[in-house]
Amino acid sequence: MKHYSSIEWLNLLSGVVNEEVECELHEHLLECEECLNIYVSLIENAEETHLNSPLSLDFTDRVMNTIHEENRKLQAIKKRKTFNNLIICYVSAACITLFFMSSGIFDFLSKKIPESSTKFSTTHLGSSNLLSNGWTDRLVDKTSSFVNGFTKNK
């Protein structure tokens, strides 16, 4: 009885043999227990190899492509939200402006701000004289008395 080599059994496993050879090999497996054992061990090795490397070679590429697609979708959603928020801000600002214009607050401010600024400038000039007269002299007096007290105690 002619036995087949491991390479021929691997070819059968890989599916690279033609139909005629495949039939011969299968018939031989039915008759020969020695070749059947070799064939079964090759199948077990192939399964172990497959289990030890569960990730296919293009796994990283597929994951990265999925991540890029998700990022693109998120960017599109963010752009839409930003545009909607911008429109809401403009509409809100327009509503607030219209409200202030209808209540006359801008007229009130345009009349009152010049009056109050002239009042502030006249009163501020007087208070600046008061401030400059007092605090520097008092600071010098306090400091010199502290230094004098410190040197006398020594």
CB of 36 to Zn ion, least distance (A): 8
Q: Which of 36/100 has CB closer to Zn ion?
A: 36
Q: Are 16 and 46 in contact (CB under 8 A)?
A: no
CB of 12 to Zn ion, least distance (A): 13
Q: Which of 29/100 has CB closer to Zn ion?
A: 29
Distance from CA of residue 103 to its chain's centroid? 45
CB of 10 to Zn ion, least distance (A): 15
Question: Could you say whether residue 73 binds Zn ion (CB under 5 A)?
Answer: no
CB of 6 to Zn ion, least distance (A): 11
Q: For the residues of 62-113, what is the DSSP string, one character each?
A: HHHHHHHHHHHHHHHHHHHHHHHHHHHHHHHHHHHHHHHHHHTHHHHHHHHH
User: Cα(147)–Cα(131) distance, rounded to whole angstroms?
Assistant: 25
From residue 19 to residue 58, the character string flagging contacts with Zn ion as x (rule: CB under 5 A) and all else as - is: -------------x--x-----------------------
Element holding 17 (H helix, E strand): none
Contacting positions for Zn ion (CB under 5 A): 3, 32, 35
